Chains A and B, each alone.
Chain A
Amino acid sequence: MAKTTEVRDDVIVRFAGDSGDGMQLTGDRFTTATASLGNDLSTLPDFPAEIRAPAGTLPGVSAFQIHFADHHVRTPGDSPDILVAMNPAALKSNLGDVKPGGQVIINTDEFTKRALAKVGYDSNPIEDDSLESYQVHAVPLTSLTVEALSDFDLSKKDAERAKNMFALGLLSWLYSRPTDQTRAFLEEKFARRPEILHANLAAFEAGWSFGETTEDFAVQYEVKPAKVPVGRYRNITGNLALAYGLVAATVRSGLPMFLGTYPITPASDILHELSKHKRFGITTFQAEDEIAGVGAALGASYGGAIGVTSTSGPGIALKSETIGLAVALELPLVVLDVQRGGPSTGLPTKTEQADLLQAMYGRNGEAPLPIVAPQSPGDCFDAAMEAVRIATAFRTPVILLSDGYLANGAEPWRVPDASALPDLGVDFATEPNALDKDGDPVFHPFKRDEATLARPWAVPGTPGLEHRIGGLEKADGTGAISYDPANHDHMVRMRAAKVDRVADTIGDLEVDDPSGEADVLVVGWGSTFGPIASACVLVRQSGGKVAHAHLRHLNPFPKNTGEVLKRYRHVIVPEMNMGQLSLLLRSKYLVDAQGYNQVRGLPFTSRELEGVINSALVEVNA
């Protein structure tokens, strides 16, 4: 039949099904195809903490959302244009988010009496009028898949498992996605199991042809490539970008890297990834616990490697004492915290940014350290290199605060030129740096560099520089144990001053204020960048004036931060916590920064923040 093609500038798709339905893989493949087409995109995987939650239940629903467009995309999107619901649970838990008038593809095979009852549907929503305001495509996805694979020597169960490929084929047709990558991916994944490979390919093609031939789908959509700066691009998730940033730091410093870590959601992929890159001189160590992970990393730093540990909030709590030791020893240490919902075990697979104060203050004594935060999945690469730069140059632990949304979310990333990345080379101490009372040369491990206030990094094996360091307070310069009151006061201040000196090496806080006349400033940090920036665009489209500043460095803040904050009549700080950055800004700069806080385990939507900004504009103009 004749199909019409419509061009859209912007589409949001959500795949939702049972944990065992392969929705993450489906979303991932759709993303790769979309990326290669040149659309800009942003994704949001949302899956349960249980590996196999009970089948067909609401808690067992796994979803993947992708937002793609012919223009710059900053968020995974607020409301899907189209929802693929593989079972009643997926429909029930996701329908509310779909745009009014949006499309819903329903796998009718799973809408049995029992399955409906399991999630509390009294009647079948396909048959009653509850889906009236949507365009519903009732498709027997499972049986169509089984039918398409009838020639294969497969059990019914195995054939049914390919239904996600059918769905992928259908959506690929619907949005005119290229199919080469999907084929190539399947060929590689099932190279050793030709039967499964061919079944998956057949299911994928059956889905595509179904879209092409059935009358139910009268319109095919196209989304043109986005205008983006020229260059080579790839799709990347935050955890992968973090790992690559660490590999790059290894190459660009010429130092070996040592990752000491313990598996924890959502940070484990950093370990998995780095363990593949031994050729770059990276050793990965899966320790017996979080404490041993960071301890071994610190030991490696002591020996002249870049010591790194990766974890999430609960792990930071366990590592605190060792991080404090690193503050006292003044050795480099990179601590990656991929934040998740807390407190305690909290929401392991959901995002939150409530570890800022833990990173800032979660140690005994006065133990300041630099904190950096990436703002998007691709930006995790630069943030990782920046954390290594600060740690090695200032001989200090640095905490990098990513989060679950950045970790698993993906976006197209312009691949940098490796040879143009920052040079992170360091100088180890090789010579004595002081004279003793007899005028003989000696080594003072705590004699500081005048510019950075960093102490020398003198690694074991260096002749003539033998020295002892420890967690006890040290005399300034000599590093000998000292309980002297004035010395302790001095050392506490020196360690803080050193961290403050990091501000000399970072840029000013930049403000995005196209009109130059805004009265309202939105300040964010970390993964809220996308939703805030999109909200600002929406506000400006309707004539509002708003400024946006985003903090990459949370400690120390850029030097002009106070001046920026004081320039605006109203400052809003949206955070996925109860007001941690706003607390810091208020106390440090005495400005009336207003928090907008939400801890639902999900990123802000742009519309929600648009509303917050608009109310502030009304208030300011009143």
Chain B
Amino acid sequence: MSTVDLNFPSLIDVPKTDEPLKAKDFKSDQEVRWCPGCGDYAILAAVQGFLPSLGVRRENIVFVSGIGCSSRFPYYMNTYGMHSIHGRAPAIATGLSVTRPDLSVWVVTGDGDALSIGGNHLIHALRRNVNLKILLFNNRIYGLTKGQYSPTSELGKVTKSTPVGSLDYPFDPVSLALGAEATFVARTIDSDRKHLTEVLKAAAAHEGSALVEIYQNCNIFNDGAFEQLKDRQTAADNLIRLEHTQPIRFGSESQFGVIRRQDGIISVVDCADVNESDLLVHDAHAVDPGVAFALSRLADQVSLAHTPIGVFRDVHRPSYDRLAREQLAQAQSHGGSGDDELQSLLEGKDSWVVTD
């Protein structure tokens, strides 16, 4: 993979490496302790494999996580890292990112961590557009606490805590992020290394918050949750790969397509029934998030039929970090910030002198 300076807007202030790095440079000395067969391994390998392509210094990369199986991730990365507390990683990473433009800050979280206990921090980080790359490992289950349903589990899910079926309707993380004013929203799958890598790269390039939902198999507590999208027989007819500027088609023979009906509703059609020009052309740069949102609603939450993956939305809005630093720079352009300025601040306008 290339290590040329890609000049990603989000990495403009991050120092570049003098020597190209390799995947193994990102492996820490810690023994990886996920269950054998867990989807997390594939994601770890993909991240370690892709990071050298950014061409930035290893010491300027930070992974911040919350609590859950996925949140062990930072321990396995030979970068700076913090394994924090449940749900709070976006908040902690915000303080770090805003004060340190020279860092590439990544948040690793899960469906419970990001959407249940940490839902508030996630949506606010997204709306502010803090320069964070948020990897949300969605396995639709609580793994670390051994198998309770999560906020993305399908309705009626039978788990240890819901022996006769769960009662709460799930979130779709992509819909949620779009509703939260996110400027970059994508979905990918643990087992598709190539797609995962492409999405990670697009996220890394994006200035501001990038939310990447990664479907991740928990082979212990929710095995096969995404099998429909992985199995060769079924994947082609279920998975919709979104590509910017391309008409949306899918199916083993590309026989299906997505159109926008006259009433505005987005639906799946048989291509034989429509003209090629009627197919919806995917525009990740569309300012209005409406179509991206509609695409995020196509999937059936139980069967996963018609699940789009790829970059739903990638639009430009100045990051919170940049705006905050501009305000600082503006204030600092008016003069010094040393003892003299401190002295005049402390004295204020209404001081008086007492003499003997």
A288 at the interface (CB under 8 A from B): yes
> Please, what's the 1-or-0 string for B63-82, where 1 marks a CB less than 8 Å from any CB in chain A?
01001000000110111111
> Across the interface, do A300 and B75 meet the contact criterion of CB distance under 8 Å?
no
Flag if B324 contacts A232 (CB, 8 Å).
Answer: no
Which residues of A (226-259) have their CB < 8 Å from a CB of B?
228-235, 244, 247-248, 251, 256, 258
Contacts of B59 in A (CB 8 A): 460-466
When the two chains form their complex, are residues B352 and A36 in contact, meaning their CB atoms are under 8 A apart?
yes
Q: Could you tell me the distance between the alpha carbons of A289 and B82 in the complex, rounded to whole angstroms?
A: 21
B103 touching A298, Cβ below 8 Å:
no
Complex Cα spacing A265 to B78, Å: 43
| Residue pair A229, B100 in contact (C-beta under 8 Å) | no
Q: From A416, which residue of chain B is reached at the shortest CB distance?
A: B346
Number of residues from B at the complex interface, CB < 8 A? 63
Q: Are B334 and A321 in contact (CB-based, < 8 A)?
A: no
Q: Tell me if B348 and A258 are in contact (CB < 8 A).
A: no
Minimal beta-carbon separation of B120 from chain A (angstroms): 6
Q: Is the CB of A277 within 8 A of B348?
A: no
Question: Given A287-B91, A472-B83, is A247 in contact with B342 using a C-beta cutoff of 8 Å?
Answer: yes
Contact A285 B98 (CB under 8 A): yes
Which B residues lie within 8 Å of A248 (CB)? 342, 346
**CB proximity to A under 8 Å, residues B305-356:** 324, 327-328, 330-332, 334-335, 337-343, 345-348, 350-356
What residues on A are CB-neighbors of B327 within 8 Å? 278
Task: Please indicate the chain B residues that have their CB under 8 angstroms from the CB of A233 in the complex.
Answer: 351-354
> A480 contacts the other chain (Cβ, under 8 Å)?
yes
The minimal Cβ–Cβ distance linking A107 to chain B, given in whole angstroms, is: 29
In chain A between 12 and 66, which residues have their CB closer than 8 angstroms to a CB of chain B?
32, 35-36, 38
B140 at the binding interface (Cβ < 8 Å): no
Q: What residues on A are CB-neighbors of B78 within 8 Å? A: 466
Q: Which of A301-309, A492-500, A531-539 is the interface stretch?
A: A301-309
Contact check, A466 vs B80: say whether CB atoms are below 8 A apart: yes
- Chain B residues with Cβ below 8 Å from A302 are 82, 92, 95-96
Set of chain A residues within 8 Å of B187, measured between Cβ atoms: none
Knowing A299-B64, A469-B81, the reply to whether A481 touches B103 (Cβ < 8 A) is no
Interface assignment of B60: CB less than 8 Å from any CB of chain A: yes
Chain B residue numbers with a CB within 8 Å of A417 are: 343
B291 within 8 A of A: no
Question: How far is the CB of B74 from the nearest CB of chain A, in Å?
Answer: 5
Taking the complex as formed, is A100 at the interface, i.e. its CB lies under 8 A from any CB of chain B? no
User: Pick the contact of A470 from B74, B124, B331, B351 — CB < 8 Å?
Assistant: B74
Chain B residue contacts of A229, Cβ below 8 A: 354
Decide yes or no: A415 and B337 within 8 Å by CB, A251-B342, A303-B103 being known contacts. Answer: no
- The distance in angstroms between the C-alpha atoms of A202 and B81, with both chains bound, is 64
For A591-611 the 0/1 string (1 means CB < 8 A from B) is 000000000000000000000
Known: A231-B353, A299-B92. A470 touches B332 (CB 8 A): no
Within 8 A of B (CB), among A257-283: 258, 260, 277-281, 283
A36 touches B96 (CB 8 A): no
For residue A181, CB closer than 8 A to chain B, the reply is yes
Given contacts A299-B91, A300-B98, contact A460 B60 (CB under 8 A): yes
Q: Does B157 contact A (CB under 8 A)?
A: no
Interface membership of A201, Cβ < 8 A: no
In the assembled complex, B285 has its CB within 8 A of some CB on chain A: no
Q: Return A426 CB to nearest CB of chain B, in Å.
A: 15
- B83-136 contacts to A, CB under 8 A, are 83-85, 88, 91-100, 102-103, 120-121, 124
Give Cα distance in the complex from A302 to B100, angstroms: 10
Known pairs A248-B346, A281-B332, A418-B346; A298 contacts B95 (CB<8 A): yes
Interface size class of A (residues with CB under 8 A): 35 or more
Residues on B with beta carbons closer than 8 Å to the beta carbon of A481: 30, 75
Residue from the list A38, A228, A285, A469 in contact with B95, Cβ < 8 A: A285
Q: Could you tell me the distance between the alpha carbons of A287 and B93 in the complex, rounded to whole angstroms?
A: 13
Q: How far is the CB of A144 from chain B (nearest CB, A)?
A: 29
Contact status B75-A466, CB under 8 Å: no
Q: Name the contact of A295 in the complex, choosing from B79, B91, B328, B339 (C-beta under 8 A).
A: B91
A401 within 8 A of B: no
Q: Does B57 contact A (CB under 8 A)?
A: yes
**Inter-chain contact B83/A418, CB cutoff 8 Å:** no
Q: Which residue from chain A places its CB closest to the CB of B97 in the assembled complex? A: A299
Closest beta carbon of chain A to B121's beta carbon, Å: 5
- B7 cross-chain contacts in A, Cβ below 8 A: none
Q: Point out the residues of chain B lying under 8 angstroms from A296, CB to CB.
A: 91-92, 94-95, 98
In the complex, what distance in Å separates the CA atom of A321 from the CA atom of B87? 11
Residue among A281, A283, A288, A297 with the most chain B CB within 10 A? A288
Q: Which residue of A lies closest to B57 (CB)?
A: A463
A74 to nearest B CB, angstroms?
18
Nearest B residue to A296, CB-CB: B95
Interface membership of B62, Cβ < 8 A:
yes
Q: Does A278 contact B95, Cβ atoms closer than 8 Å?
A: no
The one of A300, A462, A470, A480 that contacts B84, using a Cβ cutoff of 8 Å: A470
Q: Could you say which of B83, B96, B342 contacts A299, with CB atoms under 8 Å apart?
A: B96
The answer, yes or no, to whether B28 is at the interface (CB within 8 Å) is yes
List the A side residues contacting B93 at CB < 8 Å.
299
Interfacial chain A residues near B346, Cβ < 8 Å = 234, 244, 248, 415-416, 418
Question: Is residue A345 within 8 Å, beta carbon to beta carbon, of the partner chain?
Answer: no
Interface presence of A390 (CB below 8 A): no
Question: Quick one: closest A residue to B330, CB to CB?
Answer: A278
Bound-state CA distance A414–B15 (Å) is 46
- The answer, yes or no, to whether A507 is at the interface (CB within 8 Å) is no
The reply to whether the CB of B58 lies closer than 8 angstroms to some CB of chain A is yes
B337 cross-chain contacts in A, Cβ below 8 A: 251, 279-281
A300 contact from B28, B64, B95, B350, Cβ within 8 A: B95
The reply to whether A303 and B350 form a contact with Cβ atoms under 8 Å apart is no
Q: Does A559 contact B (CB under 8 A)?
A: no
Check A305–B99 contact: CB distance below 8 A.
yes
Min distance, Cβ B67 to any Cβ of chain A, angstroms: 8
List of A residues within 8 angstroms of B15 by Cβ: 461
**CB contact under 8 A between A292 and B324, given known A232-B352, A251-B339, A460-B100:** no
Contact (A181, B350) CB under 8 Å given A287-B91, A300-B98, A303-B103: yes
Q: Are A234 and B91 closer than 8 Å at their CB atoms? A: no
- CB-CB under 8 A from B334, the residues of chain A are 279
Residues of B within 8 A of A464 (CB): 59
Distance from A431 Cβ to chain B, minimum over Cβ atoms (Å)? 13
The answer for the CA separation of A258 and B96 in the assembled complex, in Å, is 10
Provide the residues of chain B in CB contact with A32, threshold 8 Å.
350
A329 at the interface (CB under 8 A from B): yes
Contact of A469 among B82, B103, B331 (CB under 8 A): B82
Chain B residues in 8 Å Cβ range of A247: 342, 345
Closest chain-B Cβ to A385's Cβ sits at a distance in Å of 12
User: Given contacts A325-B85, A460-B80, A466-B80, is CB(A228)–CB(B354) below 8 Å?
Assistant: yes
What is the CA–CA distance of A291 and B85 in the complex, to the nearest angstrom?
11
Residues A258 and B328 in contact, CB atoms below 8 Å apart: no
Given contacts A233-B351, A285-B94, contact A470 B99 (CB under 8 A): no
Instruction: Tell me whether A460 and B99 are in contact in the complex, defined as CB-CB below 8 angstroms, given that A279-B334, A467-B80 are known contacts.
Output: no
Among A280, A281, A289, A465, which residue has the most Cβ atoms of chain B within 10 A?
A280
Known interface pairs A468-B82, A470-B82, A472-B83; A461-B100 also in contact (CB < 8 Å): yes
Contacts A279-B341, A299-B94 known; 7 new A-B pairs at CB < 8 A: A232-B354, A289-B120, A299-B92, A299-B93, A304-B100, A307-B95, A329-B82
Q: Which 10 A-B pairs have the closest CB atoms?
A: A470-B83, A299-B95, A296-B95, A295-B91, A278-B331, A300-B95, A292-B91, A460-B80, A299-B92, A299-B96
Q: B residues touching A (Cβ–Cβ < 8 Å)?
A: 15, 28, 30, 57-60, 62, 64, 67, 74-75, 77-85, 88, 91-100, 102-103, 120-121, 124, 324, 327-328, 330-332, 334-335, 337-343, 345-348, 350-356
24 contacts between A and B (CB under 8 A): A229-B354, A233-B352, A234-B346, A234-B350, A235-B350, A248-B342, A258-B95, A260-B91, A277-B331, A283-B324, A288-B121, A291-B91, A298-B92, A299-B94, A303-B96, A303-B103, A321-B85, A321-B88, A461-B100, A467-B80, A468-B30, A470-B75, A470-B82, A470-B83
